[in-house]
Amino acid sequence: MELLTKAERDELLENGRLQRAAQDAGLPEHDFKPVVKIFTAVSNATWLLTELDPEEPDVAFGLCDLGLGCPELGYVSIKELESIRGPRGPLVERDYSFTADRPLSAYAREAREEERIRT
């Protein structure tokens, strides 16, 4: 199962390239809007992803919440998310209706206050 569409993967990679270029030039980091929301209905885990590492395109960056009340910014493996399975098949899915309306920092600030990601 592929969690990301080609268009999402392309946008995440482009964001990763732009972020890397800003870091290499010593410029302020970009605060992208999340490109995709991935979640599990059974455990309330949620990931809002903004970029893929251009050198390791399986590694995504975003706001990660494992449903334990401690959302944090960090990295996650797309392949690992795709491999999570339950008795009836994949447990992780993409939220097809999600459209970000603010940058990741705003979601992170709210998530820390609420102890969960709200979209």
Which pLDDT band, with edges at 50, 70 and 90, does 7 fall under?
A: very high
- Note the pLDDT of residue 85: 80
| Residues 23-48: tens digit of each pLDDT | 999 999 999 999 999 999 788 899 99
| Residues 47-106: tens digit of each pLDDT | 999 999 999 999 999 999 998 999 999 999 999 999 888 777 678 999 999 999 999 999
Q: Is the pLDDT of residue 108 over 80?
A: yes
Q: Secondary structure of the chain in the HEC alphabet?
A: CCCCCHHHHHHHHHHHHHHHHHHHCCCCCCCCCCCEEEEECCCCCEEEEEEECCCCCCEEEEEEECCCCCCEEEEEEHHHHHHCEECCEECEEECCCCCCCCCHHHHHHHHHHHCCCCC
Which pLDDT band, with edges at 50, 70 and 90, does 1 fall under?
A: low
